[in-house]
Amino acid sequence: MPRVAPPVVVSEEQRSVLKSWSRGRSTPTRLVHRARIVLHAAAGWTNQEIAAEVGVRNTTVALWRGRFIAKGIAGLEKDAGGRGPKPTVQHGDIEAEVIRKTTQETPSNATHWSTRTLARAMKISPASVRRIWTRSGLKPHLQRTFKVSNDPKFTEKLEDVVGLYMSPPENAIVFSADEKSQIQALDRTQPGLPIKKGRAGTHDP
């Protein structure tokens, strides 16, 4: 005989909370899944049917069905033993250090951090780094270039050059070159600006 899952009875007050969780865009995914599991269980669905609908394992459905029966809403809010994010990753000091390293340091063998290299340095998961970057608006892989001239006649020369393209002399041929042969740039002429929330790092070309 196949095992029959224990029935789930939900009060109107509990149903209101569960529906709110199941529809809330800001609700953590784990609570959305648990709320949907209990609501379907209360409607008489089998564990197999719920698992297929929610996209989880049968054992997961059985776990949260049992937790709700035993502890109600409170049983869904607290992660089961061994589940959920590690407390150290959520700690404010860890997040602050991830932001500091991202904005103030670079790895020894690269121009910027990736989620994997920073995760190894911090001994946390790449997914945790990615979440912190997203919350902080940091995108270390993006860089923008800029050029600042100290030439007091820069504007005048710029207008002359642009004028050749916009209105060249009659029967004239305009040539342009963007680099000098046999000359290699060994250093930046202007200091770059560091990465910060809402702004990519910058450097001169």
What are the domain boundaries of the chain? Answer: 12-77, 87-138
Q: Is the model's pLDDT at 39 over the cut of 90? A: yes
Q: Which two tokens stand for residue 164?
A: 């050749």
Q: How far, in Å, CA of 169 to CA of 162, rounded?
A: 13
Q: How far, in Å, CA of 90 to CA of 102, rounded?
A: 17
In the predicted model, what is the mean pLDDT of residues 124-133?
Answer: 86
The larger pLDDT score, comparing residue 34 to residue 122, is at 34
Give me the residue label for tokens 């800029």: 146
pLDDT tens for each residue of 61-119: 999 999 999 999 999 987 755 555 544 444 567 888 888 888 888 888 887 888 899 88
Q: Is the model's pLDDT at 1 over the cut of 50? A: no
Percent of the chain topping pLDDT 90: 25
* Mean pLDDT value across the chain: 78
pLDDT of residue 151: 77
Determine contact, residues 109/121, Cβ cutoff 8 Å. no
pLDDT of residue 90: 46
Least confident piece of the model among 2-6, 19-23, 47-51, 101-105: 2-6
pLDDT of residue 196: 56
CA 161 to mean position of chain CA atoms: 43
In the predicted model, what is the mean pLDDT of residues 107-135?
Answer: 86
In the predicted model, what is the mean pLDDT of residues 27-56?
Answer: 91
Residue 51, Cβ neighbours under 10 Å: how many?
19
Q: What is the DSSP letter of 203?
A: E
In terms of DSSP H, where are the helices of the chain?
Answer: 12-23, 29-42, 47-54, 58-71, 73-77, 87-90, 92-104, 115-122, 126-136, 154-166
pLDDT of residue 109: 82
In the predicted model, what is the mean pLDDT of residues 46-65?
Answer: 91
| Nearest Cα to Cα of residue 173 among 181, 165, 183, 182 | 165
Residues 6+ apart with CB under 8 A from 40: 49, 50, 53, 54
Least confident piece of the model among 16-30, 37-51, 69-83: 69-83
pTM: 0.41
Q: Which residues of 169-185 are buried (b: 16+ CB within 10 A; e: fewer)?
A: eeeeeeeeeeeeeeeee
